[in-house]
Amino acid sequence: MNSLFGVSYLLLWIMVIGESVLLFVLLRTIGHLLLANQPIGAREGVPVGHRLPDVPTATVDGARPLLDLLPAKRFTAVLFATPTCGYCPGALTAIRRAVAELPWLGAAVLVRAAELDGYAQVDEWGRVATITADAAQELQLRATPFVMVVDERGTVVAKGVINDESHLTNLIDAAEKAMANSGPVGDPAR
């Protein structure tokens, strides 16, 4: 009788552990399904429609608030990049081309303070600034290369992870659609 009790007790624990593993797998799968329904980058960055927080940045000219860093353009593509990011050079090239083609688009690049050396050459076409880890957390920046397209007031009108020019074009198109209700967008001669 004692051995029967021991076997049933052991089988009961095996079932409890097995069910716990199955529950973990089920909850993880449900989480993946819920996250997969959101577009890439939807959880990152300042929410669309909200103004960028005026976090401190440091440029070659000295310290300045983030909103003072933005050029006086209809839209500005604010890129969060790191030198170790494999897709960031492609994102930089896409933004550089877009700024050259679209006179109403400006650019700014944000990097963490320890990583500025990899982006020193960017300053000729867009402002490069370093931010602290606290500022990156306040801006909700974790993924790279991540772009927030902001209007002239610093309000986020589109955002997402970009890997090439088509992704940036999609963000700019989304920004134009979002701003369509507020008047003409961009250069009328475009």
Assess whether 121 and 86 both reside in one domain: yes
Task: Give pLDDT, residue 119.
Answer: 58
Assess whether 20 and 61 both reside in one domain: no
Which whole number is the average pLDDT over 71-91?
82
Assess whether 24 and 87 both reside in one domain: no
| Residues in Cβ contact with 91 at an 8 Å cutoff, skipping those fewer than 6 apart | 79, 81, 145, 147, 162, 163, 164, 168
- Tell me what the pLDDT averaged over the chain comes to: 77
**pLDDT tens, residue by residue, 120-154:** 555 555 677 778 778 888 888 877 788 888 888 88
Which residue range forms the structural domain that includes residue 175?
Answer: 56-182
How many structural domains comprise the chain?
2
